[in-house]
Structure 1
Amino acid sequence: MQVTETQKDGLKRGYEITIPASELEEKVTGKLEEARPNVELKGFRKGKVPLALLKKQFGPRLLGEAMQEAIDGAMAKHFEESGDRPALQPEVKMTNEDWKEGDDVVVSMSYEALPEIPEVDLGKVKIEKLVVKADDAAVTEALEGLAEQAKTFETKKGAAKDGDQVVMDFVGKIDGEAFDGGSAEDFPLVLGSGQFIPGFEEQLVGVKAGDEKAVEVSFPEEYQAKNLAGKAAVFDCTIKDVKKPAKAKLDDELAKQFGAESLDALKGQVSERLEAEYAGAARAVMKRTLLDELDKLVDFDLPPTLLDAEAKQIAHQLWHEENPDVQGHDHPEIETTEEHKKLAARRVRLGLLLAEMGQKNKIEVSDAEMTQAIMAQARQYPGQEREFFEFVRNNAQMQQQMRAPLFEDKVVDYIFELAKVSEKEVSKDELKEAVDKLEDE
């Protein structure tokens, strides 16, 4: 077998691999000799079939297997000896298209090699960690929010206003005829909640208990029930009660509604939750700072194909964010800009750097961590958790999509341990400002 270099331009590599016909013949013969003791053909005892007959009957198929094995072996040996790691699957094709049995096999192999990743002295990386304490004001604010969730309604005198609850019977009609699903009794509706179609709740502002009100509205053109979409309707409403909101008190009874034994216990839980939220937000800021620092410290050639693919993906993603109404991919070709390419270069560079650090330091995502991540995502599909779990388990691409961010975060945590991290106590508003800045970039 002979391997000849045909291209070496930056990270681009090209080779011509020649596999002698004699080597293929030897492989085929070896396969036939290995199988011969177990072969039975009509007119011959088991294991006594002549090699020439076996070669005539099975040779062509085995020749194809031998060619593939020889090519795969040549590639594996080349990568082992050269130390090259292809950025993507190498392109391999036969160059002697008029090949016939008995000829040498000549194939071309081309790929882009991954670059040499420089070492980074992580001890010189300086990062600031923002720390926010859950003070009394933040805990009280969160408790007020829980009290708002637990609010009740009590009967009031006078007219209903925005935020009040109206209890009513109603019958909806189109062209004077009641329609299915358009009637209810003792229905509680909070005005301003947006629970009913646009224009409905606003017409009930000012009603009192005992009033009768004809609410005239039109169903939206895109309404889910096609038989109602775009049609004008009249709802005859009988107001039975008007109630005002009564916020729950901050006491032990409220705490029990949220699974805590007492108000003090609930305060402790709220404080822990807030500090966990603050820590998560601070870590996001810290990670961005780290990536910015690493981007300044390293510079190396990048595989053009990876860059191009990443730039196209970025352009495509941003285009859809700017055109949210287009759900599919039936749209004009999206051109990549210099800004897309600049962002792609950063992502590819940092991705290769983190992958190298993870590999060198034997950082892996365990099966338990993957299972935990899958289960967490499955909870977003109530009632279909098992189906989602099975889908991921049988979909290698989906597994890789979920494993990649887990791996990146483990590498980032490893770097945090070695970098020089200083803490800075800030307010909740300052942390929010830092997070908002990330989203704007």
Structure 2
Amino acid sequence: MAERVVITGLGVCAPNGISLEAFGNAMANGESGIRFIPELEELRFGCQIAGRPEVTENHLNHHFTSLQRRDLNATGIIYGVIAGTDAWNNAGLPIASPELPDWDSGIVFGAGTLGVAKFREAVRLIDAQNVRRLGSTAVIQTMASGISAYLNGVLGCGNQVTTNSSACTTGTEAILMAYDRIATGNAKRMLAGSCSDSGPYVWGGFDALRILPRNYNDSPNKASRPMSASAAGFVPGSGAGALVLESLVSAEERGAKIYAEVLGGSINSGGQRGDGSMTAPNSQAVQRCIVQAVRNSGIRNSDIDTINGHLTATAKDALEIENWCEALGRSGEDFPLINSFKGQIGHCLSAAGSIECVAALLQFEKNSIFGNINCEDLHPQIVEKVDESKIPQKTVDYGPKILAKSSFGFGDVNACVIFKEY
């Protein structure tokens, strides 16, 4: 019989908050973390705004030793270590002794690009024939698994420690990978999450694709407009989210606080066939992913009362709503409450799923559904499918019972996880 899996720890490093309290308050109050970035103006970007965590010296001094900080400029690792260690501490878990790893605990922490700025520095030094000046941390800051390796150096986990990478699906996929590890009895606890680097070398490619909004440089907090008729593209973001997943038996044995239960989920791909492509989702695959997530979780379509969608503020938002309607067989007033957090934090790329899962889970604790900002002018194709009352503009008092969270990524990859009130 599969082990029941619960969430016992949360941590976040987001554009609008770098602690659970700050982040939770910002989400509840509809506060945006999207800001004008002078560097992007200097580099002549069309979109000169982004969501970037405001990491201070106090944050760095609290989470890193002076030795760890030496030459550390991989922003994804900084964000991931802050979120990951905060989640571990939030769960009330000890750090393994210097002599022996914690065999029952592991890490699945994803990334898209990692150490981009460090890699650029390395290229310049090598081209200038100064390879010896690279320093001892260049490898760990630029290797794909640098974030999970860095976190494990802090925590000392002896179970599976790995990094996954599936574009915007990465964070949600990491949670499901950790869930499977515990449900099958191969671990008692797993730190799951994802991070994304920030800066022009990460966001430049999207600006070149002209899929970012260019008319909101003077009003950044209005730029990200999920489900809106005036949506003009996603706003790039960055940061990290982290969750501690634990077997229910282990959590109860140590009297841990439980945020919610993970019922299950599904991961699939549209194969870039049909209407799917490198940048567009295959609707049939999205619907299958949702259907399988419901089936794997042992619930009915009608049990879902809340959805946190992917909903990036692009032309695909209406299609995503249509896919939810088809997969659940629900529409109009029968549709669950639905929200998107990208209006407040932007699209945090490989960190999107994990940061958004942290926010979604805080709704259980706050007995609230966070509002959708910047969609006063709902897209007409969405209103045709879903009653406007199901898309709250502001935070509403409503304790979710069963929440579905989806992520869809470049490469036509999908993930959906189901959380239940505990």
Q: TM-score, normalised by structure 1?
A: 0.20
Give me the TM-score of the superposition, normalised by structure 2.
Answer: 0.20
Larger radius of gyration: 1
Greater relative contact order (Cα 8 A, min sep 6): structure 1 or 2? 2
